[in-house]
Amino acid sequence: MKIILLGAPGAGKGTQATRISEKYGITHISTGDIFRANIKQGTEIGKLAKSYIDAGKLVPDSVTCEIVKNRLAEDDVKDGYLLDGFPRSLYQAEELSKFADIDLCLNFEVDTDLLMDRICGRRVCSCGESYHISTLNGATTCAKCGKQLYRRDDDNPETVKARLDTYNVMTAPLIAYYSAQNKLASVKCGNGTPEEVFKAVCEILDKYGK
Ligand code: ADP
Ligand code: ZN
């Protein structure tokens, strides 16, 4: 199955992607992770992406679309994938439709007033897990793999505000776009725990079949 995960920053796309990928064996592709890996390795793409990411803006389409196109051409995703963080604009969605046939867009609906606190209190692990300081009880390492947790550079109030604006202006129109194609399934997250949200996700995915 070829699935897009849609939702505001902090809606929990990454957390759910990890779970979906484990349970259904679908490869998780996150453009944010790809950019962060490039920044870490100091590549040209990383150098270019960093200034946009730090400002909460979209990395230019010429770079982003090319990366996704190449990634989707690889062998391991022939049978399906979870696209997390792409498309993020109507332009990107149109580009994607030229090289991919999407089955489903899972839209994570979450109260926007929760997002700022969620993202600013987020601590992440390089294994893909993420946590919130309110439930870590002072722990500084990952419960899953034991590595040191850290705060993403762009998880600060100023950048988060810009990311939320970017989402509202550029990305939110995709809800209507995929709804018009009868590909949208919305998950009402409210302030549900990751487990509760995952249950709702599984109900949708089981209904659609793998
Ligand atoms: P989140 O969804 O929590 O904001 P991501 O890890 O998906 O975080 O993305 C982090 C940043 O990477 C974005 O704010 C943006 O600058 C850049 N980015 C990720 N995906 C895209 C994309 N499809 N197009 C342009 N920029 C992107
Ligand atoms: Zn970990």
Residues in the chain where the model's pLDDT stays below 50 = 210
The distance from CA 143 to its chain's CA centroid, rounded to whole angstroms, is 21
Model pLDDT, residue 112: 85
CB 63 within 8 A of CB 117: no
Model pLDDT, residue 2: 97
Model pLDDT, residue 92: 98
Interatomic CA distance for residues 33 and 125, integer angstroms: 12
Helix (H) or strand (E) holding 93: helix 90-99
Q: What's the token pair of residue 97?
A: 């439709």
Active site residue 36: no
How far away, in angstroms, is 118 Cα from ligand 2 center? Answer: 19
- Ligand 1 within 6 A of 64 CB? yes
CB 92 within 8 A of CB 61: yes
Model pLDDT, residue 191: 79
Model pLDDT, residue 22: 94
Active site residue 88: yes
CB 184 within 8 A of CB 80: no
Tell me the one-letter amino acid at 87: P
Model pLDDT, residue 153: 93
- Ligand 1 within 6 A of 163 CB? yes
- Ligand 1 within 6 A of 7 CB? no
DSSP 185-204: EEEEEET--HHHHHHHHHHH
